[in-house]
Amino acid sequence: MSATVVSSAAVEPLSAAVACAAQRDFASLQVARDGVYWVQYCPEDGCNRIVQLNDGRQRMLTPEGFSVRSRVHEYGGGAWCLAGDRLLFVNDADQQIWLQPRPCNGGRVPPLRLTDTPDCRYGDLLWDPHRRCVIAVAEEHGPDGVRNRLVAVSLHSGQSRVLAQGHDFYSSPCLSPDGGTLAWLCWDHPHQPWTSSLLYRATLDPDGRCHAAEVLAGRGGGESLFQPGFDDDGVLHVVSDRSGWWNLYRLARNGRWHNVCPLEAEFGVAQWQLGLSTWTSPQPGRYGCSLVVNGAGRLLSVAADGDARRLVAGFSLFRSLCSDGRWLYAIAEASDRSVAVIAVDPDSGALEVLAGGTVPRHALSLPQCFHCSVGDESVHGFFYPPVVGDPAEPPPLLVMTHGGPTATSYPVYRPALQYWTGRGFAVLDLNYRGSAGYGREYRHRLAGNWGQSDVEDVAAAICALAERRQIDPARVFVRGNSAGGYTTLNALASIGSIRAGASLYGVADPLTLRQVTHKFESCYLDWLLGDPQQNPEPYRTRSPLHRAGSISCPVIFFQGARDAVVLPDQTRRMHDALKARGIDTELHLFDDEAHGFRLAANQVRVLESELAFYRRMI
């Protein structure tokens, strides 16, 4: 992953419009007898639509006026499922479950609304064929706050029955093959799903009522669980980080958990969204697993005895795994081509690309693994050299700090990143301490240290690249979105050598964020910074708004007016504080965007405005 394709004069740089149009994505892969299905994100209008692939032909199934997207926990996920001869999906506009006949029925029949609960959002849909109902996470927004429960919605009446309640959050319902057992995950404040969660199992009677619910894992706390599921023999599995790494475990007959394939690798991911899948069992005693090693993904075929064999070279991330009992299916990403839907024969390793996977025509900068030291610890990331410019002259550097902050930047093709390398910038995609993908200890490094250790990592990375003569230390820029915007703004206040920065819907006032943000993250800041009642100091000393007087370089801001995670007022106040001091600053407000920009036209405006802003500083 270290080569760089250097462009010639005949190669046009990737335009902002082409870069944003190329950010088409796939999610929520499922397979049935009549084909492979997935949700496709279309950047032109920001909508998600269900696509069916059958006999080599793709069909867009979601009618105009609908977009398949859940907003449970604000970040959604699990917004659709196959349901016999129909499919069920959550419509973005009203957050209700809709029912649509499958193409195998012939003709096009408009979707029908199944639920009529305007104050309720749904996600993590699971079809129960034994009772003809859909099991889902229901998030009710009422005058007394937000309540999350696990419910079953009748396909006949649209009425729901509560299956589990009492915990703050629910996710990942799964049914045994005979329909008699239900398992799910839950967690409570102040925890997040990647810090501590519980695995429940209960008996379902023929009428769909839960009995004898019991906790099978996580009772002692300090264990993060991910994607429970049953194999065809009805044996329960779950991903757990009890070893320090998210590994796959099987529940033995004696009630103990057996690590299927012990590795210092991550078989799970931070559960920002519902409906995620990193493993499947195509046959009893065999597994297809996606995992992350040192920030990059692999696909393995794993036997019951733990013997593992790597499948498919050339890709660096695999997600949304599923199987039809013969083939493994996944959404796969690589550093040198667009995202793809693939099918893999787990026996022979034969690969078929079903959709996507096109090689871009523009010059590519390929990622190089990056490591540097901060004290006695290591920091990780991926470095992308520029594809234009004088090789003898160190290039300007753009440091990217990802959101989350408990998240990961992977070495995959991202057109918006290539936009910068095609204009002479080196890019460092930094997985600062606290990122996922490097084990529990690294992931928990931000506990109590947000705005401190991540900023130290930015400074150390810049110094390391400058010492290696890979960048020009006088022309360093930093950008970040959401939590990455918080890291960026604190870096601008702490590192005097940074030339300019960009904050995309970044956190500027963590104390205000804690008071007004949505339920899912309302206690996250207590883990990242501490309880403000007991220790208010970090909320002041690590607040970018409080530290605005320490920022002396230009800053450009981008913010969605409909953002319910980081409210626009934070960005306005940060911009106004800098402007009042005479700092060169710009604020771009998008009336039609929320947390994260989905419309291609707005994404283009961000790239072009940010580039023009930086060029004034070079």
Give backbone dihedrals phi and psi of 198, rounded to 5 degrees, phi first. -125, 145
For residue 198, give the DSSP letter.
E
pLDDT at 22: 83
- What is the domain-level CATH number for residue 552? 3.40.50.1820
Residue 13 lies in a domain: no
Q: In whole angstroms, what is the distance from residue 594 CA to residue 597 CA?
A: 7
pLDDT at 536: 94
Last residue of a domain, one of 359, 383, 403: 359
Collapsing DSSP states into helix, strand and coil, what is residue 311? strand
- Are 501 and 419 in contact by the 8 Å Cβ rule? The answer is no
Q: In whole angstroms, what is the distance from residue 366 CA to residue 356 CA?
A: 19
Q: Say whether pLDDT at 298 is over 90.
A: yes
Residue 147 zone, left/alpha/beta (φ > 0; ψ -120 to 50; rest): beta
Is residue 10 very low, low, confident or very high in pLDDT (cuts 50, 70, 90)? very low
List CB contacts of 361: < 8 A, sequence separation 6 or more. Answer: none
Residues 113-127 have pLDDT tens digits of: 999 999 999 999 999
Q: In whole angstroms, what is the distance from residue 545 CA to residue 522 CA?
A: 20
Same domain, residue pair 382 and 476: yes
Is residue 5 very low, low, confident or very high in pLDDT (cuts 50, 70, 90)? very low
For residue 596, give the DSSP letter.
B
- The fraction of the chain above a pLDDT of 70, given in percent, is 97
Same domain, residue pair 346 and 439: no
Residues 482-519 have pLDDT tens digits of: 999 999 999 999 999 999 999 999 999 999 999 888 99
Point out the least confidently predicted range of 9-13, 101-105, 177-181, 540-544.
9-13
The better pLDDT of the pair 17, 135 is held by 135
pTM attached to this predicted model = 0.93
pLDDT at 12: 67
Helix (H) and strand (E) counts in the chain: 10, 36
Is residue 108 very low, low, confident or very high in pLDDT (cuts 50, 70, 90)? low
Q: Say whether pLDDT at 222 is over 70.
A: yes
Residue 457 lies in a domain: yes
Same domain, residue pair 259 and 317: no
Same domain, residue pair 241 and 290: no
Residue 176 lies in a domain: yes
Is residue 2 very low, low, confident or very high in pLDDT (cuts 50, 70, 90)? very low
Same domain, residue pair 122 and 263: yes
- The fraction of the chain above a pLDDT of 90, given in percent, is 89
**In total, how many domains does the chain have?**
3
Last residue of a domain, one of 327, 359, 391: 359
Residues 332-353 have pLDDT tens digits of: 999 999 999 999 999 999 999 9
Q: Which tokens is 169 given?
A: 């959050």
pLDDT at 13: 81
* DSSP-H helix ranges across 437-580: 440-443, 453-467, 483-494, 510-516, 524-528, 537-541, 568-580
Q: In whole angstroms, what is the distance from residue 374 CA to residue 325 CA?
A: 47
Residues 412-448 have pLDDT tens digits of: 999 999 999 999 999 999 999 999 999 999 999 999 9
pLDDT at 1: 45
The one-letter code for the residue type at 397 is L
Q: 401 to each of 84, 432, 510, 570, 603, how far by Cα in Å?
A: 43, 8, 17, 19, 18
Same domain, residue pair 464 and 520: yes
pLDDT at 6: 43
Same domain, residue pair 212 and 69: yes
pLDDT at 11: 57
Residues 311-324 have pLDDT tens digits of: 998 999 999 999 99
Collapsing DSSP states into helix, strand and coil, what is residue 434? coil
Same domain, residue pair 273 and 284: no
Collapsing DSSP states into helix, strand and coil, what is residue 375? coil
pLDDT at 79: 98
Q: Which tokens is 586 given?
A: 């710009």
- Average pLDDT for 71-85: 96
Structural domain harbouring 123: 29-277
